[in-house]
Structure 1
Amino acid sequence: MTVVMAGLALLGLCHGAAWASPARVFAALTGSGGGPGVVIREWRLPRVLAGLVFGAALGLAGAIFQSITRNPLGSPDVIGLDAGAYTGALFAITVLSGTSTQLTIGSVLGGVLTAAVVYALSLGGGLSGLRLIVIGIAINAMLTAFNSWIVLRAELEIAIAAVGWNAGSLNGVGWDDVAIPFGVLAVLFVVLFTRAPAMHQAALGGALAVTTGVRWDRLRLVLVLIGVGCTATVTAVAGPIAFIALAAPQIGRRLARTPGIGLLPAALTGAVLLTAADLAAQMLLAPEALPVGVISTVIGGGYLIWLLTKEVRRA
């Protein structure tokens, strides 16, 4: 997966309005190359890095929620976190002036509040993975309907901007857009990997994990906050990108042949999926670039159909 990531990154740096040879890319990365070098360093490089880092973040968020729920359908987009982040962004766009800072704060708060509601409702009668997923699907449906109502009531220009942001896109991403999110995600990644051993113990089941010294309730809350932070940070910059968090952990688990959901395979697979989807979005209707969320939905939709078919046959 690391080799595939490197190949996709190089292809992303080469591809653009004008093709750049690998030699020119390497020259640009070393600080030379003239005008084309500036294009590669300032326009293409942040987009490629955003695809890799944001894909890894979504893969880790999916791994967290699938590990907590012990269900392959447990992911931020299924349980409503993406819809909640979109609600917060819609509030920033329609009620406030819709600046990038307001979009970031609104989407993060929307995702956090949605997670808090889903988590609180799931605690009744004891938190279980299936209960959390079912409640999350219900909250997701309610928020989707509410978001549609907001868009329909908004002015035309605002509605167009809101719908475009909801598609999920890396178009136009620059260094100013990703500098702070990269720092936030780096902190979340470090905290998550320090919790990885306890997370793998908890995969055996909450009751058994407690007997091995894991403080399950506290660990679960920390993991949920990390998962929400990863999802909301990506959504704040690129909008809600569907299905990467759903598919990456399971694909990574099968490729690595691990008994549980591994964090590193999920992160690498998420990075590959999002980067590949963004390249496909740029190439399919070139010179027009599609939102990456359109491509990820097609990939994830096919994966979801396969997963559900497999689960039905197993049942």
Structure 2
Amino acid sequence: MMQSTQTMIRQGYTKRKIRLISVNILLIILTLCICGAMLIYGKTIYSLDTVIRVLSGEEIQGANFAIETLRLPRMLCGLLAGLAFGIAGNTFQTMLRNPLASPDIIGISSGSSIAAVFCILVLHMSGSGVSIAAVLSGIIVSIFIYVLSKGSGFSGGRLILIGIGVQAMINALISYLITKASQYDVSNALRWLSGSLNGASIESVPILSVVVVIFGVIILGLTKQLQILELGDEFSTTLGVKINLIRILLIISSVFLIAFATSVTGPIAFVAFLSGPIASRLVGLGAPNVLSSGLVGALLVLGADMIGQFAFSTRFPVGVVTGILGAPYMLFLLIVINRRGQA
């Protein structure tokens, strides 16, 4: 009897592992396919052979500018930002045990946005200056939210509520700045706030790559501890997890991912919010889904950008498309949570 139970457990574990590996491989293949499609398609459609030759360093008249200067930075920034949003969003949702605990809902993305809007509208800055200010502001606002939520002990629910309040305050400040700015500056600020890959440049790729690799690897390395934290502080302490240290490492890593990604693309709506739940559905409940969430985030950003560019007669920023996708899900989630609360 015991042998039979152990066999069933091993078989279940093997099935879950095979499912996880299969889903991740499929997500990687889909991501590579859409990356290739972004390099191939545009006003001029180039063959895959032409794209490979250009990326190999060959000079092809007209193709080099379109592929290397316009499409490649756009694709790489979308890929890296999607990975960052997906991993960070899933980390917050898992750690705080609440699907609403997404960085773009609890004020972290807004923290980067307020500095960027201030720089654009008041200081008339652009480029790397705006990005640096957005990163610093995102980190400062995150620390502010964490300190306010700490109190006598850490509370995920308190952090979410304070984060939502801080976001509302920041959004009010952003609205005030927009109403007082000139019409020309407002269009630049709104373009940044909508979340877009239009301003992506190859100069942003190295630093964003380093940030995604370093802090993504840290979160991947803490996957087991993150799953244990989902059980609650008492169970985590019983199982030997240093909850304060692990939580701080996860929060710092996630904040850096969000801040740097937002500084490059703007606050792309709902990618961090959607990636974790979609990944959980794909790999199965209880399976480690950090990498899967990052890949889903990359697919959402790249796919939404392709839709925004080519599916309509008018081109839309990627954040508009993800907002249309994410808003109904958020309403559905709120209804579900409300019904569970009533039950």
Superposition TM-score, scaled by structure 2 size: 0.86
Matched, 1:3 2:46: no
Which residue, 228, 242, 245 being the options, matches 1:218?
245
> For the residues of structure 1 that align with 2:58 and 2:120, how far apart are their CA atoms?
40
CA contact 2:77–2:264 (8 Å) conserved in 1: no
User: Which digits, 9 at most, give the CA deviation of each residue in 1:67-96, with x for residues without a partner?
Assistant: 221001111110011111111112322343
> For the residues of structure 2 that align with 1:205 and 1:36, how far apart are their CA atoms?
57
Q: Which runs of 5+ in 2 are unaligned?
A: 1-26
AA partner of residue 149 (structure 2): S
Q: Which residue of 1 aligns with 2:18?
A: none
> For the residues of structure 1 that align with 2:285 and 2:57, how far apart are their CA atoms?
41
User: Which digits, 9 at most, give the CA deviation of each residue in 1:88-146, with x for residues without a partner?
Assistant: 11232234341323212211122112211211121125322222111111111111001
AA partner of residue 61 (structure 2): G
Percent identity at matched positions? 34
Which of the two has higher C-alpha Rg?
2
> For the residues of structure 2 that align with 1:5 and 1:309, how far apart are their CA atoms?
32
CA contact 1:28–1:36 (8 Å) conserved in 2: no
Q: CA deviation at 1:175?
A: 0.9
Which residue, 292, 302, 326 being the options, matches 1:300?
326
> For the residues of structure 2 that align with 1:58 and 1:93, how far apart are their CA atoms?
23
Which residue, 292, 296, 308 being the options, matches 1:281?
308
Where in structure 1 do 4 or more consecutive aligned residues deviate above 4 Å?
A: none
AA partner of residue 169 (structure 1): S
AA partner of residue 311 (structure 2): L
Q: Which residue of 1 aligns with 2:264?
A: 237
Which residue, 136, 144, 163 being the options, matches 1:136?
163
AA partner of residue 56 (structure 2): T
Q: CA 1:280 to 1:21, structure 2 compared with 1: closer, same or farther past 3 Å?
A: same
CA contact 1:118–1:139 (8 Å) conserved in 2: yes
Q: Which residue of 1 aligns with 2:38?
A: 12
Matched, 1:60 2:87: yes
CA contact 2:279–2:289 (8 Å) conserved in 1: yes
CA contact 2:193–2:267 (8 Å) conserved in 1: yes
Matched, 1:175 2:234: no
Q: Which residue of 1 aligns with 2:69?
A: 42
Q: CA deviation at 1:178?
A: 2.0
CA contact 2:83–2:212 (8 Å) conserved in 1: no
User: Which digits, 9 at most, give the CA deviation of each residue in 1:279-314, with x for residues without a partner?
Assistant: 11111345x532111011011112212323333444
SS at match of 1:169: coil
Q: Which residue of 1 aligns with 2:190?
A: 163
Q: CA deviation at 1:261?
A: 5.8
AA partner of residue 34 (structure 1): I
Superposition TM-score, scaled by structure 1 size: 0.93
Q: CA deviation at 1:2?
A: 1.5
Matched, 1:30 2:67: no
Q: CA deviation at 1:173?
A: 1.4
Q: Which runs of 5+ in 1 are unaligned?
A: none
Matched, 1:192 2:222: no
Aligned length: 314
Q: Which residue of 1 aligns with 2:17?
A: none
> For the residues of structure 2 that align with 1:282 and 1:29, how far apart are their CA atoms?
23
Matched, 1:78 2:77: no
Q: Which residue of 2 aligns with 1:291?
A: 317
Quote the RMSD (CA, aligned, Å): 1.8
